[in-house]
Structure 1
């Protein structure tokens, strides 16, 4: 990837087909400042478009995973006080949509996204992790939909995605009260896959899972992600129909499947081609 070390709010390392993105503002509890909102979707787009990795792990630094939206985002926003009210509100709507897209990229990425969460996962951070494929956390982690404490409604995906991950009643309780949901409750509710004692053991386990994913056919894995996300938002009948369309076009047994048979016969790991890069500059 180009400009891999030129980020202010993140660090990025790509190794063994795994991209590891770290939120890197520990002194500010990794709150999401203006740099984050510009850099984070760019990093995800670059990895996806360049097929730079087969799986993305997102972790953090310091005591807390992320304290949510940095207050500087609110104080630095410029509004034209002379603008007609309807147009001002239409502009605000487009701003919200742009911020939502910063997390939508996680679902649109062709490779799985794994979140490794320690300490607090607060406000906008819940929007972030809700858009991932899998979540893992430490025993000291907690999740809090803080927006009602600020007299606002969460607007970047938590209220839309979380009800597909845990029970509707629990989502409503968390959103209405803003209370903290501790790690074990998050595990029992199905929000996180596993809970680990400390961050080091969590990252070791998550990287092992990422290694397993990276060893599979990337075409098969992206097919799983596409189908599971589609099924979440559509009926069983529609999802089965889309599955038949996907399989008729993407399933090529003479390639990746045959490679698995050859590798097993020779007692070696299979070798798969990466997904093709996406070149948005080409029309055809």
Structure 2
């Protein structure tokens, strides 16, 4: 991962095995414009494929975390009035699936993704943070499923993932009304792990958590993410069976476990091998 690579909607830094992605359009409240939908999933996929970091932290700049989708995305995707109606609707379906995939990559990434939210987390931003592993926020943060206020239904993951994080009744209330859920309510509901006084203390705290994760075996952490997500979507019996299959292949006590014991005996930090990079251009 190249720390010098330039993007229009975000910045990326990789230090100490932590990839820090910042949404970087503060004057527009970090709304998700066409650049974002192109750059964001590519960056996540690149970090994953290169095994460039052991944990990903996503934060933003300015007063608000993210105001959701830039309305220009809708107008740009609906500029051809000459397409037959059925084909136009089929094209729209494919567009929604592509946009959904931009957040699906957060779940499919092998490393944990931590969200650091300040101010407003609105509309599409709720879709995004719902796909992360852990969420943290400032005391002035709020979360709002705004789509019903626009006359539409949230379609990029909020309604599918949020009921796995907080109560179904609360999800329905938030989705139906579009009201703002403040930081303390989000913490009590289980949406966020911790509330910080301000953005700087939040980033300090989240980076400390990320450093703890980065110090662990990346294979063991990847296994935890895989098993927890699988268990969320399957029965206990199926999940235990998958766990047994995973462990039979991935558990190699002579490697990471032995390094942990050796490092402890030698009073040093363990040194683990990184995950294997993924080369999608090759079959063998």
- TM-score, with structure 1 as normaliser: 0.99
User: Over aligned residues, Cα RMSD in angstroms?
Assistant: 0.8
Task: Give, in angstroms, the shift of residue 213 of structure 1.
Answer: 0.2
Q: Does 1:221 align with 2:221?
A: yes
2:133 pairs with 1:130 = no
Q: Distance in 2 between matches of 1:199 and 1:82?
A: 48
Counterpart in 1 of 2:245? 245
- 1:173-192 alignment runs, 5 A limit: 173-192=173-192
* Aligned-residue offset at 1:260: 0.3
1:264 aligns with 2:264: yes
Which residues of structure 2 form unaligned runs of 5+? none
Secondary structure of 1:254's partner?
A: helix
SS at match of 2:276: coil
Give the drift of 1:84. Answer: 1.7
Matches within 5 A, 1:60-99: 60-99=60-99
Q: d(CA) in 2 for partners of 1:224 and 1:216?
A: 11
Distance 2:68 2:4 in 1: 24
CA contact (8 A) 2:57 2:114 kept: yes
Question: Partners of 2:141 and 2:8 in 1: how far apart?
Answer: 25
The Cα offsets for residues 143-183 of structure 1, whole Å up to 9 and x where unpaired, read as 00000000000000000000000000000000000000000
Measured in 2, the distance between the counterparts of 1:79 and 1:232 equals: 40
For the residue of structure 1 that corresponds to 2:275, the secondary structure is coil
2: distance between equivalents of 1:2 and 1:179?
40
Other-structure match for 1:154: 154
Report the TM-score when normalising by structure 2: 0.99
Q: Is 1:30 aligned with 2:25?
A: no
- Number of residue-to-residue matches in the alignment: 284
How far apart in 2 are the matches of 1:262 and 1:163?
43
List structure 1 runs of 4+ shifted beyond 6 angstroms: none
Distance in 2, matches of 1:86 and 1:76, equals 19
Decide whether the 8 Å contact of 2:3 with 2:12 is kept in 1: no
Q: List gaps (5 residues or longer) in structure 1.
A: none
Partners of 1:97 and 1:76 lie apart in 2 by 17
